[in-house]
Amino acid sequence: TCGICVEKCPFDAIEIINLPKELQDDPAHRYGENAFSLYGLPAPQQGQVTGILGPNGIGKTTAVRILAGELEPNLGRHEESPGWDEVLEAYRGTELQDYIADIREGEVTVSRKPQYVDQIPNSFDGNTRDLLERTDERGALDSLVDRLEIAPVMDQSIDDLSGGELQRVAIAATLARDTDFYFLDEVTPYLDIGQRVTAARLIRELAEEENRSMLVVEHDLAILDLLADTLHVAYGEPGAYGVITPPKSVRNGINEYLAGYLDNENMRIRPDPIEFEEHAPRAAVRSDTLVEYPDLEKSYGEGEFSLEVEGGEIRRNEVLGIVGPNGIGKSTFAKLLTGDLEPDSGDADLDLEISYKPQYVTIDQHMRVDVFLSSITDQFGSSYWNTEIAQPLQLERIMEQNLSDLSGGERQRVAIAACLSDSADLYLLDEPSAHLDVEQRVQATSAIRRYAEQQDATVLVIDHDIYMIDLLADRLMVFDGEPAEHGRAGTPQPMRDGMNEFLANLEVTFRRDERTSRPRINKPDSQLDKRQKSEGEYYYAP
Ligand code: ADP
Ligand code: ADP
């Protein structure tokens, strides 16, 4: 077997023994001799949301540039481009035929949300209102501003917006345009779950009510499930080739992805399946206390945000998940623990050393990754460190690059590695999932868990990706209140109680996929939704 195909290679020819079936056809595009090749294209449909699920570097942007009419696909003939007529011929009889005919006529207009919203301030001067008003082609801006809760920052300079605010402004700007085809490259980074669900609903409404074609790349699987009508799975060898499968149902696409095996393609894309357990399994076994803290209060001043913390204990060796909306005081709590902030009442003098990865990763000095990481730990380069940190976080390939040249996802992985490599009593990771693709989230999740187990470390993880929190956390700490006004931090509780409290605040319930036990968001007011709410079971099946 070749390691890609599951069964023995069905073709005897030695030349193709390493190639999955799709790769024997011509690619849609090849950048050059021995350069990246893209096989297959996603097929956007009017009135539908089409999702793409797969790692970064696999050709998603290339596909979108083709669908936007910016890049003429060469069908693998990079020396002499065949031209749109021949491309149309090649796609005759496929779902893409009409779409490609429209591109050839120059009739497709496109609106696009970039992946890294943090870079928007580099290319735009002015305030939120200036940016949004230029995009208001459908007359829908007021409603978008309202539903995405952008009103409070309308007169703020784009330079001063937080990542979560920039993300919502970028989504509004993209959806306000009047085009045939909308492409959104990751909508969830820095958004809380309520905001993620709102963004998903807005995208669906534009497809359904205005009959537009929407194409979305998303790595938060619970949200992708809610968002898309059909799904293309992308796989391959980042940087070498990428294959975009024909469309699957969203349910099957995500299930096959998690199983690590694509049914129709007869293709294994990962050695092990990712499995969810139904019953909130990790009843805390070890209950050694690392630290106890009393009730605490912190306010930033008269009429400003205030936080009330219910006292609790953090256990040695646990991964404690922290959930709640943005602006509710999670970072403020973290700063009380680290001693960066003094509480107004209560004694938080914890005497603990804390290693902290902030939500917005700011390591961007002109320094090589290896130099930076070896300055943090003398374990750097040891076989233990390589196996437990560098490999799962895929750092090998970027060790010699400069921090300032890294992409958002690469910077995130370096920051997670730096946080875990420091020696400390408590590791605190704020939104480690941001900008990681779905495969990297899985790897980072297992790296963090293994690290906690093997190093006797205690890890606090703040994240909005519900699957990641489910897979990572032993117990849960829930924040609620009124964002930007007052917050309340509950004491850490078992996963099931915590998820029930958190999701009750959001009024969102999850059912279980029959085949894989994967949690799926219920339709509001469906029978299951109503029943689970009345039983108080929001996440883990009883
Ligand atoms: P994704 O959007 O999935 O991250 P891209 O489509 O941006 O992936 O890139 C896929 C691969 O194609 C990458 O390895 C990238 O380096 C390569 N690539 C992108 N543009 C070009 C180009 N103009 N010439 C050669 N290679 C390119
Ligand atoms: P979260 O981490 O849950 O998003 P934060 O703890 O960062 O929330 O912030 C909670 C609220 O406190 C927000 O409204 C934020 O604007 C406000 N805030 C944070 N830091 C300060 C500060 N130094 N002075 C005044 N207000 C602040």
- Cβ pair 305, 487 in contact under 8 A: yes
Where do runs of H (alpha helix) occur along 83-139?
A: 84-90, 97-104, 120-123, 128-133
Computed over every residue of the chain, the mean pLDDT equals: 90
Q: Which two tokens stand for residue 145?
A: 């501003």
* Residue 360 pLDDT > 90: no
- Euclidean distance between CA atoms 490 and 309, whole angstroms: 7
Which residues, including other chains, have CB under 8 Å from residue 300's CB and lie 6 or more apart?
A: 306
Q: Is the pLDDT of residue 217 over 50?
A: yes
Better pLDDT: 231 or 456: 231
Element (H, E) at 453: helix 438-454
pTM of the model: 0.90
How far is residue 237 from each of residues 19, 40, 390, measured CA to CA in Å?
Answer: 11, 14, 19
Confidence (pLDDT) at 19 = 53
Mean pLDDT of 432-452: 89
Q: Which two tokens stand for residue 329?
A: 């005081």
pLDDT higher than 70, residue 491:
yes
Task: Among the bound ligands, name the one nearest to the CA of residue 116.
Answer: 1
Token pair listed for 143: 């409603």
Pair 210, 240: CB distance under 8 Å: no
Q: What percent of the chain has pLDDT over 90?
A: 68
C-alpha to C-alpha distance for 4 and 235, rounded to whole angstroms? 11
Q: Tell me, what's the pLDDT at 278? A: 73
Ligand 1 atom with least separation from CA of 238: 14
Q: Whose CA is nearest to atom 17 of ligand 1?
A: 36
> Would you say residue 365 has pLDDT above 60?
yes
C-beta atoms surrounding 136 within 10 Å: 17
Q: Write the residue with the smallest CA distance to atom 14 of ligand 2.
A: 484
Position 13 pLDDT exceeds 60: no
pLDDT band at 22 (very low <50, low <70, confident <90, very high): low
Q: What is the pLDDT of residue 12?
A: 42
- Who lines ligand 2 at CB under 6 A? 300, 304-305, 326-332, 484
pLDDT confidence of residue 10: 44
pLDDT tens per residue across span 275-334: 887 766 665 556 689 989 999 999 999 989 999 999 999 998 899 999 999 999 999 998
CA separation (Å) from 85 to 95, 135, 448? 17, 33, 51
pLDDT bracket for residue 14 (50, 70, 90):
very low
Residue 117's pLDDT band (cuts 50, 70, 90) = confident
Ligand 1 centroid from CA 38, angstroms: 9
Closest CA to 278 of 444, 506, 514: 514
Ligand 2 centre from 305 Cα, in Å? 7
User: Which residues touch 323 (CB under 8 Å, ≥6 apart)?
Assistant: 193, 462, 463, 464, 469, 476, 477, 478, 479, 498, 502
Token reading at 298 = 């912190």
Residue 421 CB: number of other CB atoms within 10 A? 22
Atom of ligand 1 nearest to the CA of 240: 14
